[in-house]
Homo-oligomer: A and B are copies of this chain.
Amino acid sequence: MSAVSASADVRDLDIDGDTLREECGVFGIYGHDDASAIVALGLHALQHRGQEAAGIVSYDDGVFHSERRQGLVGDNFSDRGTIERLAGRSAIGHVRYSTTGGTILRNVQPLFAELASGGLAVAHNGNLTNALSIRRDLVRDGAITQSTSDTEVILHLAARSRKPRIVERFIDALQQIQGAYAIVALTNKKLIGARDPLGIRPLVLGELDGRYILASESCALDIIGARFIRDVENGEVVVISEEGVESIRFSEKQPMRPCIFEYIYFARPDSVVNGKSVYGVRKAIGQELAREALPEADVVIPVPDSGVPAALGFAQEAGLPFEMGIIRNHYVGRTFIQPTQTVRELGVRMKHSANRAAVEGKRIVLVDDSLVRGTTSVKIVRMMRDAGAREVHFRIASPPITYPDFYGIDTPEREKLLAATHDLEGMRQYIGADSLAFLSIPGLYRAMGEEARNADCPQYTDHCFTGDYPTGLTDLAIAGPKRFAMLAEAD
């Protein structure tokens, strides 16, 4: 059906598109008196996974209630009225990033459909690589699609399944899709979780007051004092009902191959993802990087906030002082207008300021988590020099990104990835640093606790560094890389 037009109200903190945009986060709880309030708190803890919009669907005595809003969880799901409208003892929720051109409210999840066998609400983190092909078939067959989201494709597949029971229909749908996904779904009787056959996107099972919870990351369990039980396995559907947790495998058993970017950038440092502390991994990355590429320098300075743990690891390994040489302004709201060229250039300092006292006259090592387009790095290097840095040695806590992602991370097109078009010296010149180094792929796997990358069956989904995509890319063949990238918006 038609879209409700919404004025785009995008908090674009990333003027140049020079970050990897997050995917999404999901959360669900079954059978708790404060279901919606707990989902709101859980989504708040997952806010770093998507800040543009949030939604909650609850089920109460025959009726599904839905509230979906643009903006932060804390601004939209913190009032008593909203939580009271989301009545019921089971609920699921979703946070998401905006897509190209602004978030449209109809794309905000969870989505809901009344199937012949009952209502089904679905929230999804990830991206399908054959959604376009499926959608084309669906429309050809008379389906009417409301949104541009992959989640809707899953709902249509479940709606058209000939299986009688709703869990069977849901699994039927999963078996037709390809790509990365962590899904929470709600029926009138059950809370369902599912993770793609390779476990690319994360999903954990927890428990509070004897009630089961599903969440993208363990930090969402911590905020409500819930206990971590285990990661949902790759290719597993967990069905939570009054009878407890039932586990169903919907794909052949195979080694897990989770996305390595969760550790490098996306997950919160206090989360434990697939059994590994994110903070611990990031510090280990910094240590590996110091071992690989330690320059002569006086201080180590993180690009805040994401570069902090790696910079700490670097400084500890290198025996150099760690200093907050860049101050981050946490009150950045909407993009400021820039009436003239003069003011436009000032805008660079909206988010980051140099702390001259920590920088002046020093040879500094700047540690950032990753390098995408490089536009921000140019500005930060210049800012450090303006603040009196004698030398600026840039260290990147991940390998060069040379391939786009199609699994829920919003990467630029390949030609805009600095590392895809420049060699190391070219990149160094571009960003204006005195030296530049990236973590190596072996170093990255060492930091993950592996002896080495297994080229035949890599332990992690790492195609952005290697081009080794873990699944088929059906839509890429249909649509070509540009259009597919546009379609491969994260859910």
Contacts and interface: CB of A to CB of B under 8 A. Distances in A.
Contacts of A144: 113-115, 143-144, 146, 152, 155-156, 159
A332 B74 contact: yes
A335 B72 CA distance: 12
Contact of A342 (B34, B74, B279, B345): B34
Nearest to A342: B34
A338 B114 CA distance: 32
27 contacts: A1-B111, A1-B113, A1-B147, A1-B152, A4-B66, A37-B340, A40-B336, A41-B336, A73-B331, A74-B332, A74-B350, A75-B334, A78-B336, A79-B337, A83-B339, A113-B145, A115-B139, A115-B144, A139-B159, A141-B160, A222-B349, A223-B353, A224-B343, A270-B356, A277-B357, A312-B322, A316-B321
A416 interface: no
A309 interface: yes
A268 interface: yes
Contacts of A334: 74-75, 78-79
Contact of A324 (B44, B83, B269, B336): B269
A266 B75 CA distance: 26
Interface stretch (A45-53, A243-251, A254-262): A45-53
A41 B142 contact: no
A389 interface: no
Copies of this protein chain in the complex:
4
Contacts of A474: none
Interface string A344-356: 0111011001111
B45 A333 contact: no
A323 B313 CA distance: 9
A412 interface: no
Contacts of A270: 327, 353-357
Interface residues of A, number: 106
Interface in A1-37: 1-5, 33-34, 37
Interface in A64-114: 64-68, 72-75, 78-80, 83, 85, 105-106, 110-114
Interface in A198-254: 209, 219, 222-225
A280 interface: yes
A116 B145 contact: no
Interface string A381-417: 0000000000000000000000000000000000000
Nearest to A72: B333
Contact of A68 (B2, B83, B349): B2
A274 interface: no
A68 B112 CA distance: 21
A340 B160 CA distance: 41
A44 B343 contact: no
A406 to B, nearest CB: 23
Interface in A306-335: 308-309, 312, 316, 321-324, 327, 329-335
B159 A5 contact: no
Contacts of A152: 1, 144
A174 interface: no
Nearest to A316: B321
A71 to B, nearest CB: 8
Nearest to A334: B78
